[in-house]
Amino acid sequence: MPSPYSALFTAPGSKGFSAAGFLGRMPLSMMGIGVVTMISQLTGRYGLAGALSATMALAAAALGPQVSRMVDRYGQRRVLRPVTLFALAASAGLLLAAHFDWPDWVLFLCAAGIGCVPSMGAMVRARWAALYRDTPQLHTAYSFESVVDEVCFIFGPILSIGLSTVWFPEAGPLLAACFLAVGVFWLTAQRATEPVPHPREQHHRGSAMSSAGLQVLVATFVATGAIFGAVDVVTVAFAEEQGHKGAASVVLALYAAGSCLAGAVFGLLHFKGSAEARWLLGICAMAVSMIPLLLVGNLPFLAVALFVAGLSIAPTMITTMSLIEQHVPRAKLTEGMTWVSTGLAVGVALGSSVAGWVIDAAGAKAGYGVPAVAGAVAVAVGFLGYRRLNRPVPQREGTHEHHSEREERHVA
């Protein structure tokens, strides 16, 4: 009996855009940590390195949804290629400015420019949605993409840090930029699977954030992002206190591995009942999984606790993507997916900042209180917004048009 995952790739073009999306997504986990490693090696200024990484994250949070909004209107190829060229130019400027010790304001200007990097995860998921909308295969596709996300976050930082420390300081960000260029131009060369754009029309104006359901998802994921950002920072600090700072990358890789394993299994299952209820259960599980971290006493216990905590991440993210597909008009699907990533990015920045302050004031172990509080906030927001998610969703525009386009595409 064939695996549901292998069955996904029977659709023409699916292997190509999935592979391109994997390469184009690697910079998401490589660029920030690569810049931190590069700047700290070249200047020894960890404060500057962290500020540049935060600038890139906040710029991506501000610009990402706008880029995706243009993609929904004009198509992936027309938007992604010029936007990516701009981001690559900004990346080159950052590397040159760091290498030749140019003024700090140049570094920050280039870091902000890198923020317009497109959300490749949203682009690939939009292609899966165009292929398998309203079929059980879409759940499997979203599960597969969640696994790909975790693989990127397991190996991306290791690759970026390793190259920058073993080869030359700029090597990590440079490879990230190469991955971005190859991924985007390979993806946009595949026209047959590109979602049909929705030109600017009266009923398409306005942001995807006008959806009450999306507002709940994004607000919840700001708190969820704070969990991730805080866990990363506190884990590095805790490993350093234990005298094994290098072990932090292994421990965090196990956190991502737990999510990767859960996502792979989740994709094999088919659920009946309310997706909203599964989503809320996932948010609660993520929050509860932070409690054992408050009792952590050594790195082996921390590794096990984080692996178990990771098991709730991918299933929650997969269900979230399914809810976006239900609550956001099809003409704004890419933008809607990117807004959730934006919420996560903002949360990561907040969580890492607050965790750093707590660590300085009370030590690493106390820092695990930050993700625990963030989890409680996520649960509170989820319960308060649950009724909004359960409201009947009006028939979205383009249903008949979409089915006609899909049939024509399969005939072709």
Weakest-pLDDT range from 144-158, 273-287, 305-319: 144-158
- Read off the pLDDT of residues 321-350 as tens digits, 9 standing for 90 and up: 888 877 777 777 777 888 887 888 788 778
Residue scoring higher pLDDT (48 or 145): 145
What does the pLDDT read at residue 281? 92
* Type of residue found at 282: G
Per-residue pLDDT at 378 exceeds 90: yes
CA 318, CA 265: separation in Å to the nearest integer?
A: 12
Q: What is the model's pLDDT at position 406? A: 36
Residue 50 or 56, more confident: 56
**Among 16-20, 137-141, 390-394, the range of highest mean pLDDT:** 16-20
- In the prediction, which pLDDT does 165 show? 77
Which segment, 55-64, 257-266, 300-309, is predicted with the most confidence on average?
300-309
Three-point CA angle 139, 322, 87, nearest 5°: 100
Q: Judge whether residue 111 has pLDDT over 70.
A: yes
Name the residue with higher pLDDT: 121 or 245.
Answer: 121
Angle at 94 between CA 93 and CA 96, to 5 degrees: 65
- Distance from chain centroid for Cα 301: 27
In this predicted structure, the answer to whether residue 259 has a pLDDT above a threshold of 90 is no
Gap between the Cα atoms of 144 and 7, Å rounded: 12
Q: Which CATH architecture has domain 206-391+398-412?
A: Up-down Bundle (1.20)
Q: Which of 92, 287, 307 is nearest to 181 (CA)?
A: 92
pLDDT at position 10 is 85
Six token digits for residue 362? 């009370």
* Cβ count near 197 (within 10 Å): 18
pLDDT of residue 243 exceeding 50: yes
* Domain 15-195 grouped into CATH 3.40.50.720: no
What's this model's pTM, rounded to 2 decimal places?
0.76
Joined together, the tokens standing for residue 8 give 């996904």
| 8 Å CB contact between 123 and 64 | no
Least confident of 61-70, 155-164, 174-183, 252-261: 155-164
Angle between helices 14-43 and 171-188 (to 10 degrees): 160
206-391+398-412 matches 15-195 in CATH topology: yes
Question: DSSP secondary structure string, 304-355?
Answer: HHHHHHHTTHHHHHHHHHHHHHHHS-GGGHHHHHHHHHHHHHHHHHHHHHHH
Which has the minimum average pLDDT: 165-174, 195-204, 357-366?
A: 195-204
Domain range annotation of the chain: 15-195, 206-391+398-412
| Backbone angle region of 211, left / alpha / beta, with phi > 0 → left and psi within -120 to 50 → alpha | beta
pLDDT, residue 407, reads 36
Tokens 């009947």 correspond to what residue?
392
pLDDT-based confidence at residue 203 (cuts at 50, 70, 90): very low
Note the helical H segments in 167-298: 171-188, 212-241, 247-266, 275-288
Range scoring the smallest mean pLDDT among 185-189, 214-218, 263-267, 333-337: 333-337
Amino acid 301 reads F
